[in-house]
Amino acid sequence: EYLAERHAGVWPADAKARTWARSAAAEMHSSFTALRGSCPMNCGVRIAPVPISDELKHDLFRLGDLWDDGLRRFGGPFLAGDRFTAVDAFFAPVAFRVQSYGLSFECAAAAYPARLLALPAMREWYAAALAETWREPNHEAEVRAAGTVVEDFRATL
């Protein structure tokens, strides 16, 4: 809200799209705990995950349903219409998880993560993440517990 008060366009201009976007962002903020726990954020690795739990399946189904709803309702290519807004920023880390863990979706949601990953700011974020050489041991252990690391694109020490 701080940014929205100071910069136009953070949220959609259309009232219905803005209401939907705020609701979806709030859901992302407060939900999807199985996704966060089962698929820790790590842009630079590709992981063959352990078998997907029912809780993670539920989160993935809900994400797909939510994305399909926004894309269908507001015409895409972003969740609340033709412009990237705050709601898309809330789901940007999920796009990296989709890439890292080989997660997939159906319908309109299937192409949404790749669309986010193709954005210049996302490519910059990814490049910066790959260039990092520092590793946090506990986070590395969380990633290894999530599955088998099959590729590591990160810079080495």
pLDDT of residue 51: 95
Distance from chain centroid for Cα 57: 16
Return all residues near 111 (Cβ < 8 A) that are at least 6 apart: none
pLDDT of residue 5: 86
Q: Are residues 94 and 66 in contact, defined by beta-carbon separation less than 8 angstroms?
A: no
**pLDDT (average), residues 130-155:** 97
Report if pTM > 0.85: yes
Distance CA 41, CA 94 (A): 8
Question: How would residue 121 be classed by pLDDT, with cut points 50, 70 and 90?
Answer: very high
Distance CA 112, CA 31 (A): 19
pLDDT of residue 43: 96
User: Residue 101 burial (CB < 10 Å; 0-12/13-18/19+)?
Assistant: buried
Beta bridge partners of 47: 149
Q: Domains (ranges, CATH) in the chain?
A: 2-152 (1.20.1050.10)
pLDDT of residue 26: 98
pLDDT of residue 23: 98
For helices 120-131 and 86-101, the axis angle rounded to 10 degrees is 50
CB atoms within 10 A of CB 142: 16
Output the average pLDDT for the chain: 97
Q: Are residues 40 and 146 in contact, defined by beta-carbon separation less than 8 angstroms?
A: yes
Residue 48 in 3-state DSSP? Answer: strand
Question: How would residue 2 be classed by pLDDT, with cut points 50, 70 and 90?
Answer: confident
Query: pLDDT tens digit string along 66-114?
Result: 999 999 999 999 999 999 999 999 999 999 999 999 999 999 999 999 9
Q: Compute the residue count for the chain.
A: 157
**pLDDT (average), residues 29-55:** 97
